[in-house]
A and B are shown apart, each in its own frame.
Chain A
C-alpha cells in the first residue's frame, strides 16, 4: 500500500499496460484453462483412435463457421442466458438457487394458458401481458424460495431443487387437465397460440428469435444492477457477510426476496420465449433442462452477469456441434458432454491460478519498479 502510494504513476507509458494487465488476468486464465481442457480431451480422442483435429474442426464448423452454425448456436443460447441469470443473481447474496427449471416451466404454462384465452387481442397488447404473467409467475415461485430462506430458515438450494420437481409436476398436471387443448390428443398441450401471439425471428438474416436479445439485455442490465447501483452494492455486501450487512442496517430480507424473485422472473421469461417463439403452446417439451444447464453456466461465469454471455455462447456452440460429431466421427452423443465436462473442470481448477502471476499485477508494470519480488 505504501509502496503504491509513493511510486509515481507511469502516465507517459501510453499503452497504460499497468491498468489493463490486471484485468487481462480474468480473460487470460480462463482461455488458458479452456486450451488445457482441449488438450486433455484430445488425449481421450487419440486413445479412442479418433482425430482431435477432426473433432475441433467439426466443433468449429457446426457451431461457429457458417451463418447456419451461428443460428444453431445462438438459438440454443437464448433460453440458457436467462436460465443462468436465475442462478447468478441470487448468488450475489450468497444463495445457491438451482431450481430455475421450475420457474421456466411455470412461466411457460402461465404464458401458454393465458395466451390461449387472448385470441382476439392484438399482439402488441397481449404479448406484454403474456410476458409479465410468465415473469410474475417465475418471480413468485423463486421469490418464495427466498422467503422460505429468510423467514423459515429453509436451505434455499434444497428448497429450490425440490420445488422445481413440484413445479414440473404442477405444470404437467395443468397441461394435461384444465389447460389442455382437447385437440392435442397424443401430446397434451395448451391451445396453440394465434399467429399474433408468436414471437418471430430477429431481422439478422438467421433464424434466431428475440429471446436471444432479451437474454443479452437481461445480462447487461443485471450486470449494471449488481456493479453500478447502490442496490447491487447492498446485495454484494449482504452476500459477503450477512451479519455485517444487518449491522449496517441493510434490508437483508428484502434484498434476498427481491433478488430471488428477480432471478425467478428472468427464468419465467425464458419460459415465455420458449412458448411464444419456439413451441407455440406449453407442453412437456418445454421442460428441457435449460434451468439445470443454467446452473453450470452461472458457476463457470463466477456469477458475473456479463461473463454469462460468452460462456453461454461457447457452451451452445459445443452443443450445436454434438450432432455433427455423432454423424461424422461415429462417436456417441455423450461425447460433447464429456468434452464440456473436461473443459469445465479445467476452468474450475484454473480458479486457483488467480493472483499467482506477477506480470498480471499492477506493481509489475510500473516504471522504476524494483526487481520483481
Chain B
C-alpha cells in the first residue's frame, strides 16, 4: 500500500535529484573569459537601449567590443545600492574583469569607494568629475564631458525653429549639471532672439516616464514649440513632444530615429571615442589619468546630425558657434547676466568658460528661464 502511494512522488523526487545532480556537476562550467587578454565590465543603472544616458554608454561599450583582445561584459538595470557593489565584485571574481566602467553617477560614493580598495589590481573608471587625489584611491578614475555646450548649440537651433518664442525643458532634478544645461539651452536660443523664454519643469526623478510625458504635454499646452530635456531616457519626451507637433532637441544619445521630421539636433556623449582610447591605453600597458574631462574639441561630446527642419540660417549660426567652441575659451555664461530672480550672475565683461569650476556648483536659473529651483 505504502509503496503504491509513493510511486508518483518517488518518480518526481528522483527526477528532481537527477536535475540537481546535473546542475551541480556542471557548476564548474565556464572557461568564459580565458581567450581574452583584457576583460572590461560595463554597468548601467537603467536599460541599455533607453535612447539616453545608458544607451550612450552602451554604444561606447559596443565600440570597445569591436576591439581585438578585449572581452566586454555588461549588466543593465543595476540599482545604486549594495547591488552594484556585488555586481562589481561578481565581474571581478567570476569574469576576471580588470577594468570596470560603473557608469551611473550614484555608483561612486560609497559603492566604488567601498570596493576599489579591496581590489587594487582592478581599475574603476567612473563617469563624473568626482575623483580627487587626496581623498580617493589611485585605482579609481573620473572622466566627464562639458555637455552644457551641446545644450547651447541645441539652443541655437531651437532659437531659429521657434515661432512662439517659447521653448521648453523637461528636467529631472535641480542639481548643478541640469541647471547648467537649462541655462545653456536658453542662452543659446537667445543668441538668435533675446526675447525667447524657456519654461522648465522638474520631474524630481531621473527616470519617471509618466511625469516626463505630463511635463512635456504641459509645456506644449503653454505654447512651447521646441522642447528638450535632461532625464535619463529622453525617449518619452521626444515622442510626446513630436506628437504635439513641437520640435525637439536631443540629449545623451541620438534620438533622431524617434522623431525624424521634428528632431533638430542633439547633445550626445561620445563615449566610443573615450572608451576605446582608455582601453587602448591599458592594453598598451599605460595608465589612464585619474581625472579626465573634455568637451566638443576633445571628442567627449558630439552633436547629432542636423535634422531636415533646420533652416540654412540656423545651420550657418550653428556651424559658426560650434567652430568657436572647438577653438576653445568659449563662454556660454557671460556678463551682463542676471538670474531669474534679478540677482547679478556676471557683470559686464565677466565670463565663465566651460572648464570653470564655479559652474559646477550652479544654483540659479538665468533670466528668461521660467521656473524655480526650490
Contact = CB atoms under 8 A, between A and B. Distances in A.
A324 B94 CA distance: 8
B94 A333 contact: no
B16 A35 contact: yes
B94 A61 contact: yes
A68 interface: yes
B194 interface: no
A285 B106 contact: yes
Contacts of A68: 89-90, 93
Interface string B24-62: 101101101000000000000001000000000000000
B80 interface: yes
A328 B32 contact: yes
| Most chain B beta carbons < 10 A, residue from A76, A177, A326 | A326
Contacts of B81: 274, 278-279, 285-286, 288
B90 A324 contact: yes
Given A327-B73, A359-B2, A57 B175 contact: no
A280 interface: yes
Contact of B82 (A39, A176, A278, A283): A278
B136 interface: no
Contacts of A39: 19
B356 to A, nearest CB: 15
A60 B28 CA distance: 10
A76 B82 contact: yes
B12 A32 contact: yes
A152 B82 CA distance: 39
Contact of A57 (B23, B82, B89, B128): B23
Contact of B27 (A60, A71, A285, A327): A60
B315 to A, nearest CB: 33
- State the main secondary structure of chain A at its contact with B: helix
B360 interface: yes
Contacts of A66: 93
A80 B195 CA distance: 54
| Most chain B beta carbons < 10 A, residue from A35, A61, A323 | A323
Interface string A332-356: 0100000000000000000000000
A367 interface: no
A236 to B, nearest CB: 32
Interface string B80-102: 11110111011101110000000
A331 B8 CA distance: 34
A117 to B, nearest CB: 20
A19 interface: no
A109 to B, nearest CB: 16
30 contacts: A35-B12, A35-B16, A57-B24, A57-B27, A57-B29, A60-B24, A66-B93, A68-B89, A68-B90, A75-B85, A75-B86, A76-B82, A76-B86, A172-B204, A177-B374, A185-B360, A185-B361, A187-B106, A187-B109, A187-B175, A278-B110, A279-B81, A279-B110, A286-B81, A319-B83, A323-B87, A327-B73, A333-B76, A333-B77, A359-B2
Interface of A: 32, 35, 38-39, 53-54, 56-57, 60-62, 65-66, 68, 71-72, 75-76, 78, 172, 176-177, 185-188, 274, 278-280, 283, 285-286, 288-289, 319-320, 323-324, 326-328, 333, 358-359, 371-372
Interface of B: 1-2, 5-6, 12, 16, 19, 22-24, 26-27, 29-30, 32, 47, 73-83, 85-87, 89-91, 93-95, 105-106, 109-110, 128, 173-177, 204, 360-361, 374
Nearest 6 CB-CB pairings of A with B? A285-B80, A56-B23, A57-B27, A72-B86, A327-B73, A186-B175
